[in-house]
């Protein structure tokens, strides 16, 4: 498991519950493994899944 600069998760994904260690460029030596979506923390895995799902919906509708 990855460990943040503080040694503890900074947040947990609001979708899957995975611990997120870095949500910003506060620690430039660490690559962020999450992002804020609608004021909720979301891990990169869920972000990628949501992006893929969104792209599929666009192609199906078009």
Task: Write out pLDDT tens, residues 6-51.
Answer: 667 888 999 999 998 877 655 555 567 788 888 888 988 998 888 8
More confident residue, 11 or 60: 11
The pTM of the full predicted model, rounded to 2 decimals, is: 0.63
- 27: tokens are 């620690």
Domain ranges across the chain? 11-61
Q: What is the pLDDT of residue 16?
A: 95
13 and 46 Cβ atoms separated by less than 8 Å: yes
pLDDT of residue 24: 60
Rounded Cα–Cα distance for residues 12 and 15 (Å): 9
């Amino acid at each position: 498991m990855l460990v943040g600069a503080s040694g503890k998760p900074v947040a947990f994904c609001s979708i899957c519950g995975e611990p997120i260690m870095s949500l910003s460029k506060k620690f430039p030596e660490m690559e962020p493994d999450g992002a804020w979506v609608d004021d909720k923390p979301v891990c990169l895995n869920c972000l990628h899944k949501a992006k893929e799902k969104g792209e599929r919906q666009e192609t199906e509708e078009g």
